[in-house]
Homo-oligomer: A and B are copies of this chain.
């Protein structure tokens, strides 16, 4: 497929997008990224993503001055790749640029590398509908998970382990508390109250998480931004995750333990209903939300 990408000022076929081995993204993980979902040409939460991107760039001390042009670039790339009527992901990566390898920052004349890519990103219907199993592992990541950096080796290792165990995600546990998963935020439900880890240096401030919190406020579900203790996980009625790709996805099994009766619960279903109606419109009606909600 001849997908076009954007690299440092130019649109080009991906096969012609060359990164230098001296790119600090390649040898130092010296970069940050965002993934934005486009629903038939319409970006979800573009502004929220930009705000977070600015925070990540600031956290990584990468100077990038073209923030205001990104929306136009992303829209243009979606158009060029004829994804305006599709569900698509737009991947944006920014690194500290190309310079002979040394730990310290290159001088300020070195421009950041800017890379944008698009790909088809359909909803994970089966997982959304029936929920997923997750595994639980120690959170061995660094202590600035609020920066959306490309330092994803632990996420990669743990997600691979999850898949090998027949699971769809891995919950991370830090100091006894469930933080987040390899690429999604986590919510737990007990007696109709939702619990989620507060924004901190140990979790990414998720854009879909933010959307879920807005939905809860609107439809009157109480949310407590308190972390859940891993050893008390069996006391919760429901779990679900949120993310740009996973959207709002029920979790029905933690390791070998089913959550309640092993079916997506009513609070999760209500939030899914709101989220999917808002993002997919009437198409979501065909997914039998009413049946799901019961």
Q: How far is the CA of A238 from the CA of B160 in the complex (A)?
A: 45
Q: How far is the CB of A237 from chain B (nearest CB, A)?
A: 28
Scan residues 185-203 of chain A and give those whose CB is less than 8 A from a CB of chain B.
none
Tell me if A22 counts as interface (CB < 8 A to partner B): yes
Residues of A within 8 Å of B, CB-based: how many? 52
Q: Report yes or no: B60 in contact with A157, Cβ–Cβ below 8 A.
A: yes
Scan residues 2-42 of chain A and give those whose CB is less than 8 A from a CB of chain B.
5, 7, 14, 17-31, 33
Residues in B whose Cβ lies below 8 Å from that of A104: 156, 159-160, 163
Residues in B whose Cβ lies below 8 Å from that of A138: 143
Residues in B whose Cβ lies below 8 Å from that of A96: 156
Q: How far is the CA of A115 from the CA of B27 in the complex (A)?
A: 10
A27 interface neighbour in B28, B150, B157, Cβ under 8 Å: B150
Q: How far is the CB of A122 from chain B (nearest CB, A)?
A: 14
A21 interface neighbour in B5, B154, B155, Cβ under 8 Å: B5
Q: Report yes or no: A142 in contact with B144, Cβ–Cβ below 8 A.
A: no
Residues in B whose Cβ lies below 8 Å from that of A141: 142-143
Q: Report yes or no: B153 in contact with A29, Cβ–Cβ below 8 A.
A: yes
Q: How far is the CA of A168 from the CA of B104 in the complex (A)?
A: 11
A19 interface neighbour in B5, B19, B28, B150, Cβ under 8 Å: B19
Residues of A within 8 A of B (CB): 5, 7, 14, 17-31, 33, 60-61, 91, 93, 96, 100-101, 103-105, 115, 117, 119, 138, 140-144, 149-157, 159-160, 163, 182-183
